[in-house]
Amino acid sequence: MRLFKTRRIQWVLISIFLVPCLASAENIMSTVEVKSGQAEVTFLEGRATLIKKGISLTQGDLLFPGDRVRTGRDSRIEVKLPEGSFIRFGEQTTFELISASFDQEKTLRDIKVSMVLGKIWAKISKLFGGRGRFEVLTKTAVSGVRGTVYRVNVNPDDSVMVKVYGGEIVVNSLNKANITSQSEKITKPAKVSGPHPVPGPHPVTMEEWTYIVKALQQINIRPDGTATKPFRFSIKDDLNDWVRWNLERDKILGVQ
């Protein structure tokens, strides 16, 4: 009888400690499947709000194109995109998800995020290679990537800092990006008006430029849209809390 009671107690203790461990392991091993046109909040520390709706986000919520989010003080949010990439945003950051579509059969993606203010860290899935596009836009520039790891800081004065940790990105002035974007659109025939005066030469407000920024290189974009040439930065001097945390998250997630 004593032996039976002892074994029963042992099984109760095992259940108390083992079941939570199994549940935790299941959560770690489970993968989040996000459909085209969606993005999922996979980590949230502090507060993040959908600006138009005034709704506080929670882990597991879905974001859709057109959603604009603002993070609070001492807050961080991680978002998983439908093709397997992850983007993270630091405290007091405002961003908008413009596009989050992908075609798995054609291995094409169209990911666009607009950064208004704050910090973004992008860990881009390499599974899609260079097919389709993955762009982070700011007021003065746009960065297009392939498989890579990089971050962008958008400051209150509209200046921008971009640092690349793996792979390479193409950064160019938003004027040139807009020209490229417009040329890709197919417009319907329209009635053309008669002859009219054409304005003469005039100064442009932003210098048009394009730079390829490689691993361990940085580029700074001034508030007027002009930029420095890419230069090498020290990874040792760059290791602040934000960078360390993101590198650790990348390691845990093991994005391919």
202-213 tens-digit pLDDT: 444 456 899 999
Tell whether 200 is covered by a domain.
no
Tell whether 9 is covered by a domain.
no
Secondary structure (3-state) at 152 = strand
- pLDDT score for 185: 36
Tell whether 93 is covered by a domain.
yes
- pLDDT score for 134: 92
- pLDDT score for 250: 94
Region of 222 (left: φ > 0; alpha: ψ -120 to 50; beta: rest) is beta
- Helices then strands, counting H and E runs in the chain, come out as 4, 17
Tell whether 243 is covered by a domain.
yes
Which residue is it, tokens 């990006």? 177
The overall average pLDDT reported for the chain is: 80
Quick one: average pLDDT of 68-78? 98
- Residue 29, C-beta contacts closer than 8 angstroms, at least 6 positions apart: none
Encoded amino acid at 96, one letter: E
CA angle in degrees (0–180, nearest 5) for 212-218-219: 70
pLDDT category of residue 101 using cuts at 50, 70 and 90: very high
Tell whether 111 is covered by a domain.
yes
Structural domain count of the chain: 1
Tell whether 15 is covered by a domain.
no
147-197 tens-digit pLDDT: 689 999 999 999 999 999 999 999 999 875 543 333 333 334 444 445 545
Q: Do residues 40 and 62 lie in contact, with contact meaning Cβ atoms separated by under 8 Å?
A: yes
26-57 tens-digit pLDDT: 333 334 577 889 999 999 999 999 998 899 99
Reply yes or no on whether the pLDDT at 24 is more than 50: no
For 32, the token pair is 């989040």
Q: CATH no. for residue 100? A: 2.60.120.1440
CA angle in degrees (0–180, nearest 5) for 248-26-62: 70
- pLDDT score for 182: 33
Whole-prediction pTM value?
0.77
Domain that holds residue 126: 38-180+208-253
Tell whether 71 is covered by a domain.
yes
Counting beta carbons within 10 angstroms of the beta carbon of residue 145, is it exposed (0 to 12), middle (13 to 18) or buried (19 or more)? buried
Reply yes or no on whether the pLDDT at 89 is more than 90: yes
Q: Which one-letter DSSP state was computed for residue 229?
A: P
- When mean pLDDT is compared across 9-23, 74-88, 94-108, the lowest value belongs to 9-23
Tell whether 215 is covered by a domain.
yes
Choice between 146 and 213, residue whose per-residue pLDDT is larger? 213
Task: Name the residue among 229, 234, 227 with its Cα closest to residue 213.
Answer: 229
